Each structure stands twice: as structure tokens, then as C-alpha cells.
Amino acid sequence: MHWHKPQWKKYEKKLDSLSKLASGPQNSRTGKALGRMPPTSSGGFSKIMTTKFIFVTGGVCSSLGKGIATASIGALLKASGLKVVPMKMDPYLNVDPGTMSPFQHGEVFVTDDGSETDLDLGHYERFIDVPLSGLSTVTTGRIYSEVLARERRGDFLGGTIQIIPHITNAIKDKVKEVGKKTKADVVLVEIGGTVGDIEGLPYLEAIRQLRWELGFDNTLFIHLTLLPYLRGSKELKTKPTQASVRELRSIGIHPDIIIARADYAIKKELIKKIALFCDTPQEAVIPAVTANSIYEVPLLLEEHNIAELIGKRLKLGSVKPKLKDWQNLNEKIKKSKKALRIALVGKYTGLDDAYLSVIESLQIAAFHNERKLELVWINSEKLEEMDVDALKQLESVDGIVVPGGFGIRGTEGKIMAARYARENNVPYLGLCLGMQIMTIEFARYALNDNSITSEEFEEGKKRKDPEKHIIHYMPNQSEKRAKGGTLRLGSYPCKIKKGTVTHKIYGKELIHERHRHRFEVNNTFRKKLEAKGWIPAGVYQKENLVEIAEIAGHPYMVGSQFHPEFLSRPHKPHPLFMGLVKEAIKRSQ
């Protein structure tokens, strides 16, 4: 197989001559340079990294599954024994997605260090099973903020700040920082958006430059593109893919591997055509037909030897993934025929991306119990309106999940769902706001006071009654505080109380879970609630904050202040979701 090396020998000679001029490290015995010294984005010289970098771009349109493809490639490389660290570069001007609407961006995925990131990092963590950090997320807003802050400090000594080289240098530095700090064998970099988007051009220019700086054998470009199906002629068309690759080549990027997405089988003639017109080896054009499950994608890609292709191209040696775990998981998925109806009660009903990690966590737990999740979307505002269809839906399910969220809209409907679960012994899992909802509902019932509420639900009101706030602001939080990046974020320890349902399903006393919230249970209510059967099953001992609550005498009514969905993995379902699914199965039988 032949991959293009444009003028590479000529460039290597140029680098050799430049390295002689650099004051780089030398072998004290021979006096020879220890390594070639290509120019860095900061203008100095450094040895070529041993870390390999794979850049994934998308063409024709968005929502093709670029994140799934990146995660699947990462899973294959990790299964081959390589240390893989993925990162996502988003071209939007927001500093992070923390304050973006779920309608526009989907869920916000939180890492251990508290970074609020794109939902694709959730795919990366689930597939590759590696905890990520803020190093793995970059946005244009963040890049511009950092470059402009440096300009204000005078770091550029009065120079004119431009897209090239200052913004592109900052992008390149972020990529190389991941390789340097993590010491990964492979860094997978997904470029958000679609080739041709004006906001994505600095990223494409940056990765074009990185090929020259890092070395041909250390960089690989993968382009994911669509083959649209024309119903009239009953055929898939390659012309949009050709145009997308031509756009890439016009700015100096030649895809080493093309992944062709389609909803129908891709004939070999089309693979040959793409290879011919896109100037890519035929073996490196990978068909990717829509799969029955996203967890099938690693196996489907490996059917076309993508790991071996990458290994040869990057000179990684023998790359042979061990896929037993993925094969076992897909066997479980195939056996999961019997439906299990679980309700998701929220505001953004029907929008999978808004609750993506929650849905995947439920799917995974269902698969491991040989059940097929039948998700029942229930709009909490419809429950408030006593909508007949919404009420019938609630009565038809075997389990209820109330996920996280912000604001008062739809909260009384969620409280109705919690009351139904409590009164009818329906398994219930409350996540973040869902735990607070469960606590408010129980307090209203047990203390016979329907005015009990959350301080969050009274934001903006002139008259407030703090004595009714069973949920209130945490210390150092307030209504006037800026919204972005100010929540309680990241991983915190939690001590679990022995003898509880929670302790039984976790099987240990100390856990670490990820958070994203600014309100907590008001401890002044705790004694009253505990006397009535509300159990603080898990506590953050340093600040005496309730992390997990459950209702005594109920088969499974559990709420977590943290977000367990961020730690659920395809091969390791999260205990709280497994607990819910197991109890829901019992109820369904």
C-alpha cells in the first residue's frame, strides 16, 4: 500500500540543516544531535515526539457519528495494548458548553477534574474506558480568550495578533500538550463541525502544519464522510465525498483513510471509485453502514482491518486488538429481546442528546440483564397539566428516572412522578435535580407541608421563605453568581452508610462520583426527614453534604446528588442503573 509523502525527503533535509543551527541536546560522547529538531509553534526547536497523532475530520454534513468513529478507533487501539488519549476541538466561540442550551448542544459531560465538555467526550470515555480531563477539550472561545489574555499582558511585545500564526499556534500547542503531559502512544483528535465551515478553518490549518512539524510517520488523517442515497435512482452517490476530500486537499490535507458512512450496503465498485477520485489506497476506504448498535461499530470497523492500517501507516508495529469484551457485549445485545419500559421524566423529551449519558447508562444496564430498553419519554410539563396521555404513560412503566436539570419549569410534574413512584412502589432513580425532587416530594408528604420547596425554584421572587427551602444554595454559591464554570464540578468522595440499599448495590463504603450542581439538601431538615424514613445513604464527610438519599421500605427509591451516568461503561454498568433495572425487571414479571 502506498501513502503520499509530499516532498518529505526534501523537508527532512531542511529539518536536518535547521537542527544543526538549534542549540538542542547533544550526545556528550559523540557530539551528535539526539534528534531532529523541527520548529515548534513558539518559534523554538524540540525533538520529534514519539507520540502518534490521528486527526479525524468530517465531511458533507454533521451528525454522521464522527465522535462514535473516533471512540471506536480509540477502543480498537486500546484493545491492542496502546495508551490512547482522545481530544475534541470545537470551533464554536463559547468558552465551554456549560451554559449552552441542551436543545443546541445536547448534554454537558463532566470529567473528573470538573471540566464541562462536549458530549463526545462521553463517547470517548465509555468506549476507551479512560478518565479524561480538561486537556481533552478545546473550543475557539477558549483559544481566543487565552491568546487575547496573553496580548493584554504584553506577551507578544506589541505584535499584530492574527489567525495565522497566533491562533493556529495556540491550537497546535494544545494538541502537543496532550501528548506531552499524558505520554500517550496515540492522541486521537476529533475536529468538530464539517469541512467547509468557516469557523473550522483555523483548526484545519493547524493540523496541516502539525503534519510537517511532527513528522509524516507520526500523523494520520482520517476523513469521515457521507454517501447519500437517492431514492429515485436507488443508488448511493460518491460525488459529495469527492467534493469534501477536494476541499481538504485544497488546503493541504490529504486523507490517509476515508470512512464512508451510508444507510445502505456500499458496493465494492463505489469503494474503488472513492479510492480513484480521492487518491487514497482502496484498502484505506472503509465502508461504515449504519449499525444496529453503536457498540457494534468497533467490530464493524475492524472487519476492514482499520487497526492494522493505522499500525502500518504510523509504524506502530503489530496492532492486533483483542476484542473478546466487545464480542461478548454484542452477544448480550443480540440476546436482549424482551422489552423493559423505563420512563424518562424531563423537559427535553424526545431529544436524546440532552440526556445522552443517562440513556446510554440505561441501555448498558438493560443489555447486561438481557433486556431491551424501551424508553418512555414523559414531558413533566404535561404531567403538571394533568394530560391524560402523560398520566397513562406513567402508569405503564416499570421504572422511573428523573434526570438532572436547572430551573423551575416542569418541576411540579417531576414531583408528581416521584409521588407516583413512592405510592406505587415503582423503582425510581433521581439524578442530581431528580434526587432533590424526590426529597421535596417526600418532605411535603411526611411533614404535611406542600409549601416546602427549593431555593432554586424561588429565584427572582421578591418574597422568599428560607424556612421552606429543603434544598438551598451551597456555601459560596448565590443567585447573583456568574453562571459559567461556577457550579460544584468534578469528582468528590462519598461515604456510604452500611445496611442501605445503596451499600448493597455498590458493595463498598467509599466511592468517588462526578458532580455538576449548585444546590444541596438543607441539613436543618435532616433529623425530621430521617425520623420519617428518608435515609441519607451517602455523605461527603468533609462538608457534611448529602450525596445519596433513599426511602425506607421502598424496593428502590434512590437519588444521587452526583451524576452516575458519567461513570457508566459498556463493559461495566454503573451500580445505580443496574439496581434500577434489576428492580424494574422484578416488577415487570
**Averaged over 158-163, what is the pLDDT?**
91
Q: Which fold has domain 46-326?
A: Rossmann fold (3.40.50)
Check whether 144 has a pLDDT greater than 70: yes
Q: What is the mean pLDDT of the chain?
A: 89
Q: What is the pLDDT of residues 520-539, one digit of tens each?
A: 999 999 999 999 999 999 99
Residue 41: the pLDDT is 40
Rounded Cα gap, residues 137 and 108, in angstroms? 12
Q: What is the pLDDT of residues 296-314, one digit of tens each?
A: 999 999 999 999 999 999 9
The residues annotated as belonging to the active site are 432, 563, 565
Q: What is the pTM of this model?
A: 0.88
Residue 483: the pLDDT is 53
Q: Where are the domains of the chain?
A: 46-326, 337-588
Rounded Cα gap, residues 44 and 38, in angstroms? 8
- Phi then psi for residue 273, to 5 deg, are -65, -45
Three-class SS state of 230: strand
Sign for the CA dihedral angle at 150, 253, 78, 217 comes to: negative
Omega before residue 165 within 30° of 0, cis: yes
pLDDT band at 465 (very low <50, low <70, confident <90, very high): confident
**Averaged over 542-552, what is the pLDDT?**
95
Q: Is 279 left (phi over 0), alpha (psi -120 to 50) or beta?
A: left
CB-based contact 116:406 (threshold 8 Å): no
The angle subtended at Cα 321 by Cα 318 and Cα 327, nearest 5°, is: 160
Residue 350: the pLDDT is 75
Q: What is the pLDDT of residues 488-511, one digit of tens each?
A: 899 999 999 999 999 999 999 999
All residues at 6 or more sequence positions from 155 whose CB lies less than 8 Å from its CB, including other chains: none
Parallel, antiparallel or unpaired: strands 116-117 and 219-226: unpaired
Beta bridge partners of 492: 513
Residue 109 CB neighbour total at 10 angstroms? 27
**Averaged over 426-455, what is the pLDDT?**
95
Q: What is the pLDDT of residues 285-297, one digit of tens each?
A: 999 999 999 999 9
Q: Which percentage of the chain shows pLDDT scores above 90?
A: 78
Q: What is the pLDDT of residues 171-209, one digit of tens each?
A: 999 999 999 999 999 999 999 999 999 999 999 999 999
**Averaged over 402-428, what is the pLDDT?**
94
Of 42, 24, 41, whose CA–CA distance to 33 is shortest? 24
Rounded Cα gap, residues 24 and 21, in angstroms? 9
Beta strands in 192-256 (DSSP E): 219-226, 229-230, 235-236
Rounded Cα gap, residues 589 and 585, in angstroms? 6
**Burial class for 149, CB neighbours closer than 10 Å (0-12, 13-18, 19+):** exposed
Q: What is the pLDDT of residues 51-97, one digit of tens each?
A: 999 999 999 888 889 999 999 999 999 999 999 999 999 999 998 88
Q: What is the pLDDT of residues 375-411, one digit of tens each?
A: 999 999 999 999 999 999 999 999 999 999 888 888 9
CA distances from residue 282 to 286, 301, 302, 309, 346 in whole angstroms, order as listed: 9, 15, 16, 11, 47
CB-based contact 378:389 (threshold 8 Å): no
Rounded Cα gap, residues 391 and 124, in angstroms? 37
Helices (H) and strands (E) in the chain, counts: 20, 23
* Strand (E) or helix (H) holding 505: helix 501-506
Residue 313: the pLDDT is 95
All residues at 6 or more sequence positions from 293 whose CB lies less than 8 Å from its CB, including other chains: 330, 333
Residue 226: the pLDDT is 95
Q: HEC string of 145-187?
A: HHHHHHHHHCCCCCCCCCHHHHHHHHHHHHHHHHHHHHCCCEE
Check whether 17 has a pLDDT greater than 50: no
Residue 5: the pLDDT is 59
Site of grid cell 446510554: 360
Superfamily of the domain at 337-588:
Class I glutamine amidotransferase (GATase) domain (3.40.50.880)
Residue 106: the pLDDT is 86
Three-class SS state of 228: coil
Check whether 49 has a pLDDT greater than 80: no
46-326 and 337-588: same fold?
A: yes
pLDDT band at 225 (very low <50, low <70, confident <90, very high): very high
Check whether 20 has a pLDDT greater than 80: no
Of 225, 261, 259, whose CA–CA distance to 244 is shortest? 225
